[in-house]
Structure 1
Amino acid sequence: MPTTRSGKRTRVPWKTDTQVRNTTVTLPVFMAYCGVAASLRAWNISQSKFIVTLRAKDDFYHPVYAEAVEAFAAGIWTCREFTSYAYEWKDRSFRDEMEAHKNKRAIFIAPPDYNLDDDERLFSDALLDLKPRTRRHAEAALRRAGLPLCDRDVDLLLSEPWPRLVKAFQDRRHPMLALERLRTHSRMPSKPVAEVSKPLGPTLADMHGYGPALEWGTNLAKDLADYKAGVLPWSAVDTGVLLSGPPGTGKTMFAGALANTCQVPIIHGSVSRWQEAGALDSHLKAMRASFAEAKEKAPSILFIDEVDTFGDRTETDRNRGYLRCAMAGLLELLDGFDRREGVVVIGACNFPEQLDPAIRRAGRLDRHFEIPLPDKQSRLSILGFHSGIELDQSQSEKFAVATDGLSGADIEQLVRDAKRTARRRVEVLSGTHVIEQLRPLTELPEEYVRHLAVHEAGHALVASEIGYGQVSEIRISRYRIDGKRSELGRVQYDQTRDRPKTPADYRNAIAVCLGGIAAELELFGSFTDGASGSDTADLNRATELATILEGGLGMGHTLVVEDQVQLERLRTYNLEFRRHVHAVLESEFERAKSAVRARRAALDTIVDRLMDVTVMSGDEVFEIMDRHRRPTVSLAKKAAT
């Protein structure tokens, strides 16, 4: 079984004359080896016994990866003559399974188009995704071959198909000559090729971070396609939706992407533009014109911005009569006697609470989706859409930290500034120009980052161990925005509670809050000050939960309950009550420390992995926890035979 201590440094085939089964490890094989080693990092243990399956993605060529797996196996196992430890899953793999079972050691590769069945999954100790080649792999391969690092050569190694790389880098040919021949016969264009124009702009496939709105839009596209084909009546189509959120979150862009996906025209309306028409009659005439245009081009989407400007008809002020009549006109157009068949209306606003309830009645804008500020992946997608460039790993991490809290409009402005900088320097737009526009960042020391990794890993481990909730993601940051207090680490949980909470639920939450400092104590002997101070800090939150448990819910030493203000006073001035709160905290702290000590090996593995990638999925955490779970040995006597 794997451990937390990897022996990769002593076994990586850095020497260019390294041979595996009498075959030299060529440059493309070494690149593939880097991906294999990254996937099997936790299994890189000398003489260990395991059978794992690597699931390949699209960028795959079996001859190269088979040799790469052999190179990895040669570093940890003693390969016997005529025996291979690299196998490919195919329709008939019985002999390979028998050989692997006999040797107790094997690495299977599942091609991208191969569907593993339950028996094959059961046969493998672990199912791991095969890491694709990256810039780091290409740079490492060039360094190993003694070749200078050049962006063009790195791009060449990443863009050329594996079969062409194999043909270029042969055992008998020096890597420099192979690279020169590859440059000469490269399929990469010698000059930039004009991008294919996208007159329709982005589609829903290009949008990220819109949550349920994205799913609704995808379903609407299918319904409209069926409606246009005559197989679905208009009455079965959702005809109205309300989008709300802060300015710049991309509500208008979402509407355009929806129209592009549905392949229907979009008509842009705006309450303020309708009002610009002048008097009430002109206002109503402009509004009816927008609906008429949408109906003429049906099926279509009518996007109405600033719909909250109408306000609530129950309010009274000097302009309420005008707005009440305008609102009545809108309601009539939405679902009046003259039905709007073929027109989907999307309303957008910043303050949905100011809307008249009638506008959200069934048949009008009855669905409501809140569009939040974009998350990390969404911000990167917005950047890619507006700039057409892709950041490397280091730049992506800086971008994610520095743009936290920015809207899509803010990122679009950032791209304009980056393009202006590139034009002034007469340079091609790159990630460097984008990074220069960000807020100043400070790179955190390695020791500080390890403390963050240990702390967040402690939260995740305790949550998994006590059954608090399934971990969906762990994230740490290597950078901090200068002059701003920002979140440097976070663990997200998936908790689906369909029952009332018990005292055990509150105690579990307290233990998870204390899991971070429990892990720091276990590894460093003390914990840092980030666990307290703010209302959302771990110790503050744990203390608040323990206080509520003891005096606000009747689940502690007494059934008497107090309000929140009184609870804080009790904790401050009533020594007996304070002792009860302390006892709860101390008890759950001991439970958290016990879980950390019992699962120390898993903790170390999670920390090492987090230091490498800064972001881990919940599935990866679960796999590490499961892999390091101690087997239970039954002490029951064997039944007599």
Structure 2
Amino acid sequence: MPIKQSGKRLRVPWRLKLDENDLPVTLPVFMAYCAVAGALRPWNRLGTKSIVTLVTTDDFYYPVFAEAARFFASQIWQSQRFHGNVLQWSDKNFRHEAEALRDESAILFASPSYQIQEDDRLLSDAVVPLAPRTARHAEAALRRAGLPITDESVDLLLGEPWSRLSRAFQDRRGSLQALQRLRSLPKPAPALPADREDERPPPTIGPTLSDMHGFGSLVEWGYDLAKDIADFRAGIIPWRDVENGVLISGPPGVGKTMFASALANSCAIPLIYGSASRWQEAGALDEHLKAMRASFAEAKENAPSILFIDEIDVYGNRIETDRNSAYIRAVITALLQLLDGFERREGVVVLGACNHPDLLDSAIKRAGRLDRHIAVPLPDAASRRSILEFHSGVIMCAADYELFDLATEGQSGADIERLVRDARRVARRQSQNLNSEHILRNLRPLTKLPEAYLRSLAIHEAGHAVVSSEVGHAPISCIKISRHKVDDEIRELGYVEYQPPAPQRRTRQFFENAIATFLGGIAAELEVYGSFTDGAGGADGADLNRATDLATALEGSLGMGHTLVAGRFEQSEATNLRLYLPELRREVHDILETQLARARAIIRAQRPALDAVADRLLEAGELAGEEVREIIGHHRRFTVSLAKPPRRAGM
């Protein structure tokens, strides 16, 4: 049934106030949208049914204009039957023509090099020239993005190639940040003659290794690889001296794919993306292997290059005996041949990425293949701040960073990117530039802890520090408490970090000192408040649980208890051992009781040091190990050493 039309034309987009909710397009796409809408002004009616060919000029980039044309058709024509029939004449086939005729609407682009045929004109209702972008289009795009309209910004949007604009303006990046990034990067070099085109190095668009935060040794490896590849291209070293494979693993969202892109940009070489799941989607075994070999062939044709194989752990290993084992063995064997078979992959660096490296076939990790394995953990607080700055360009004050650190603890780089995307959407709705307030508003809800509760946290953590210092367990690296709590989430609100202890004899005394340190927080609460809270026990990482497991190992598996009988200690079975062996349970209880009494005696003797550390921690929120040691040393009372309590009879 035909759509009823009012007959009233819509105004051109640079005069039309469009709803932000209905315009999920980037700034360059909006510029192209203005050009498309201007060319199609006679068809700028609601519900129009037309097949139009737009003849382009040299100022044309199909990916941007195709997105703009789809948006025009879906918004201006408002046809529910429009299925995105936006094509280039050179790519059109009979199926596309049938879909255009079925929907009675299509937008076809004809590049300057394409010769429009008579059949093309018969299919099209009109053949219209597409004018290049204008200053009015750039001004409209800046106005929509909420950016100031300056001659410099307009000239930048008119002078940059469409491809660079498309890469700079992305959904995850604010318009202001994209403009700043374009201004900071060098201008594209003028075109070279065809016979000298190979002399130009590829442009660097996107992240580089300097933007990778929280990747540790993987970034160092990347810089070494970039230097080796530069030396190889200069003829200084042969390819056999270049490390040509690495396996990177980590939880989802830490940025393994982004690292591959940054590595390729820093090395100034092409990145070829190959996913194990995509290869599998090609079809049966033969098609699967063809897709795999095609990726390796593409990487070799573009050598030196990086071939990124995502989800490589889906292949498992060849020792599995299920009904798919023959298929998996064939795929893994082919992959091994491509990695290090008869035909050497000279010039190709392979990056394998996975979440579960222990599931991967050991032959893939053999020397000469992906023999180096680097794990990427979830980013720490400093890395999360850097990731936030990279995606948003926002720098917060110390108080805001404290909230951000707490709310994003345990989150990946992808989680922070999503956070910035949500915050940017809020800023757009308010017609404001993105700032720290928008970031904080999209954090997980936080509750400020009362001062009395914070005091108990400080007493608890100070107890660990004082006992550890007195028994000589391990040097303290830092001590911290949180002033806020993430709603509906159970997590530690305070902790003490220790430096790795110096090599020493791990005797029974060593383990008893560790148990006393674990119980130091409970001891401090008992001495100050007369009781301790439930946070000291129950969870696997809680103080009392760790002390109990260590005491169980001491008595039940290390041969340091009442007998010399030793055995393999499995933490998962420790609870059952204590439950079904009453004698072991009593011995563990005796150890805990003795070390708790020892820790309480230390707290009583060093109460001034405990109070001083707690007061300073309550004031600062976080203390470095050096400051903690200085406070304890200043307030320490000299007493008879309790580091070696008398042993019980029979020990």
Q: How well do the aligned residues superpose, as a CA RMSD in angstroms?
A: 3.1
Cα drift, residue 513 of structure 1:
0.9
Residue in 2 aligned with 1:406? 411
Residue aligning to 2:219: 214
Alignment of 1:193-272 (within 5 A): 194-197=179-182, 200-272=205-277
Q: Secondary structure at the match of 2:273?
A: strand
Q: Verify: 1:480 aligned to 2:504, yes or no.
A: no
Q: 1:588 aligns with which of 589, 595, 607?
A: 595
Answer whether contact 2:559 2:566 (CA < 8 A) is retained: yes
Amino acid at match of 1:485: I
Q: CA deviation at 1:427?
A: 1.7
Pairwise mapping of residues 283-322 of structure 1 onto structure 2 (< 5 A)?
283-322=288-327
* Amino acid paired to 2:218: A
Q: Is 1:329 aligned to residue 334 of structure 2?
A: yes
Question: Where does residue 92 of structure 2 map in the other structure?
Answer: none
Displacement of 1:591:
3.2
| Equivalent residues in 2 for 1:55-70, closer than 5 Å | none
CA deviations 1:221-280 (Å, max 9, x no partner) are: 333344344433332322111112222121111222222333333222112223344454
Out of 607, 615, 625, the residue aligned to residue 618 of structure 1 is: 625
Summarize the Cα distance change of 1:280–1:512 in structure 2 as closer, same or farther, 3 Å threshold: same
Q: Which residue is 2:42 aligned to? A: none
Task: Find the aligned partners of 1:429 and 1:333 in 2 and give their Cα distance.
Answer: 47
> 2 CA distance for matches of 1:578 and 1:361?
46
1:310·1:327 contact (CA, 8 Å) conserved in 2?
yes
In structure 2, the partner of 1:369 is 374
The answer on 1:386 being equivalent to 2:391 is yes
Shift of 1:541: 2.8
Whole-Å separation in 1 of the counterparts to 2:609 and 2:205: 49
- Is the counterpart of residue 542 in structure 1 residue 527 in structure 2? no
Distance change >3 Å, CA 467–CA 335, structure 1 → 2: same
Q: Which runs of structure 2 are paired with 1:78-157 in the superposition (5 Å)?
A: none
Gaps (5+ residues) in structure 1? 1-190, 633-641
Percent identical residues: 59
TM-score by length of 2: 0.61
Query: 1:568 aligned to 2:578?
Result: yes
Matches within 5 A, 1:599-618: 599-618=606-625
1:526: Cα distance to partner?
4.4
Partner secondary structure for residue 554 of structure 2: helix
Deviation at 1:521, TM superposition (A): 4.0
> Aligned partner of 1:455: which letter?
H
Check conservation: 1:266, 1:300, Cα contact below 8 A.
yes
SS at match of 1:454: helix
Distance 2:237 2:627 in 1: 43
Give the drift of 1:631: 9.5
- Give, as a single letter, the amino acid of the residue that structure 2 aligns with 1:208: H
CA shift, 1:484, in A, is 1.9
CA distance in 2, matches of 1:531, 1:343: 53
Deviation readout 1:189-237 (Å, 9 max, x if unpaired): xx99941336533333332332432333333333334434443333232
Compute the displacement of 1:445 (Å).
Answer: 0.6
Which residue does 1:426 correspond to in 2? 431
Classify 1:228/1:475 alpha carbon distance in 2 versus 1 (closer, same or farther; 3 Å).
Answer: farther
- For residue 304 of structure 1, report the CA deviation from its aligned partner: 0.8
Shift of residue 306, structure 1, vs aligned partner: 1.4
User: Deviation per CA, 1:266-300, whole angstroms, max 9, x where unpaired?
Assistant: 22211222334445444334333322332333333
Q: How does 1:425-444 map to 2 (within 5 A)?
A: 425-444=430-449
- The one-letter code sitting in structure 1 at the alignment partner of 2:621 is T
Contact 2:250–2:355 (Cα < 8 Å) also in 1: yes
Q: CA deviation at 1:350?
A: 2.1
CA distance in 1, matches of 2:228, 2:615: 48
Distance 1:328 1:381, change over 3 A: same
What whole-Å deviation, never above 9, does each CA across 1:83-133 have from its counterpart, x for those lacking one? Answer: xxxxxxxxxxxxxxxxxxxxxxxxxxxxxxxxxxxxxxxxxxxxxxxxxxx
**Cα distance in structure 2, aligned partners of 1:523 and 1:441:** 28
Alignment partners' CA distance in 2, 1:235 and 1:581:
57
CA–CA distance in structure 2, aligned partners of residues 428 and 415 of structure 1: 12
- How far is the alpha carbon of 1:338 from its aligned partner? 2.1
CA separation in 2, counterparts of 1:558 and 1:327? 50
Which sections of structure 2, spanning at least 5 residues, go unmatched? 1-175, 186-203, 640-651
CA offset at residue 366 of structure 1?
1.0
- Within the alignment, does 1:503 sit opposite 2:508 as a pair? yes
The structural deviation recorded for 1:420 is 0.9
CA distance in 1, matches of 2:319, 2:483: 52
Post-superposition offset of 1:491: 1.6
CA contact (8 A) 1:548 1:567 kept: no
Query: Greater CA radius of gyration, 1 or 2?
Result: 2
User: The residue matched to 1:196 in structure 2 has which SS?
Assistant: helix
Contact 1:552 1:567 in 2 (8 A): no
* Aligned counterparts of 2:217 and 2:286: Cα–Cα separation in 1: 38
Return the alpha-carbon distance in structure 2 between the equivalents of residues 296 and 594 of structure 1. Answer: 73
Pair 1:466-2:476 in alignment: no
Determine the C-alpha separation between the residues in 2 that align with 1:291 and 1:216: 23
Secondary structure of the equivalent of 2:180? Answer: coil
Deviation, 1:364, is 0.4
Partner of 1:340: 345
